[in-house]
Amino acid sequence: MPSLHDKTIIIDGLIVSNFGPEIFRAMRAGGITAANCTCSIWEDFPTSMRAIAQWKTWFREHANLILQVYGIADIHRAKTEGKTGVILGWQNAVGFDDHLPFIEVAYELGLRIVQMTYNTATSVGGGCYESNDGGLTDFGRDVVDEFNRLGILVDLSHVGSKTAADVIAYSKKPVAYTHCLPAALKAHPRNKSDQQLRTIADKGGFVGVTMFPPFLR
């Protein structure tokens, strides 16, 4: 393991994978301290809860490799104990079945990062492949309020640029592009303008650079 990884707290902005012990061992070999692990994209509430329940079983069965991150202390604990801290994340807000109180339930189970939309339009706003992104909806504002209140990081990586701009302006807490590339390197609906990247950083948010080649070449 490179000594940089030994000395530094390294957080992977987003991993989506066919998770299981093999991946947990690879995450250890890679030397990351913690990662935002996707456990819902298109799924409804019951199916997203099944994914969270599956993680609870993994946390028990593979406690030598992974631990759940509820807060910052758990990231430091992961570093000290030589495990990977798993931050449960959703890449879409559809998993709440449009029922606001489900956000608090998912938060209590450890959900800490949620993307507003995934490529397409939903009840909260537009996605990055939506040809007619109308921006953040009224219900979307309620969702951001609830994320802000509880402490769930808002991810805008796959969100439409108008909706993303609305969220950046509206959110009382810093937001994130957990996995994205600069449009300055390649014009692509999934890539972000220098202005967008700068605004997030200026507001104290987080920008993660993804290594997904199709968006670069």
- CA–CA dist 14, 88 (Å, integer): 10
Q: Does 105 bind its own copies (CB under 8 A)?
A: yes
Q: Cβ of residue 213: shortest distance to its own copies, in angstroms?
A: 36
- CA–CA dist 214, 77 (Å, integer): 36
DSSP 3-state of 123: coil
Stretch touching its own copies by CB under 8 A, among 82-90, 94-102, 130-138, 179-187: 94-102
129 or 139: CB nearest its own copies: 139
Q: Does 151 bind its own copies (CB under 8 A)?
A: no
106 or 167: CB nearest its own copies: 106
Candidates 112, 130, 106, 126; CA nearest to 167 is 126
Residues in 130-149 that interact with its own copies by CB under 8 A: none
What one-character-per-residue DSSP string does 21-40 give? HHHHHHHHHHT-SEEEEE--
47 or 195: CB nearest its own copies: 47
103 or 168: CB nearest its own copies: 103
Q: Does 81 bind its own copies (CB under 8 A)?
A: no
Q: Cβ of residue 60: shortest distance to its own copies, in angstroms?
A: 8
Residues in 16-55 that interact with its own copies by CB under 8 A: 45-46, 49-50, 52-54
Q: Are strands 34-38 and 206-209 parallel, antiparallel or unpaired?
A: unpaired
Which phi and psi angles does 86 have, rounded to 5°? -105, 120
Q: Does 97 bind its own copies (CB under 8 A)?
A: yes
Q: Does 109 bind its own copies (CB under 8 A)?
A: yes
Which phi and psi angles does 47 have, rounded to 5°? -70, -40
Q: Does 56 bind its own copies (CB under 8 A)?
A: yes
Determine contact, residues 95/43, Cβ cutoff 8 Å.
Answer: yes
- Containing 85, the helix (H) or strand (E) segment is strand 84-90
- Residue ranges that bind its own copies, judged by CB under 8 A: 45-46, 49-50, 52-54, 56-57, 97, 99, 101-102, 104-105, 108-109
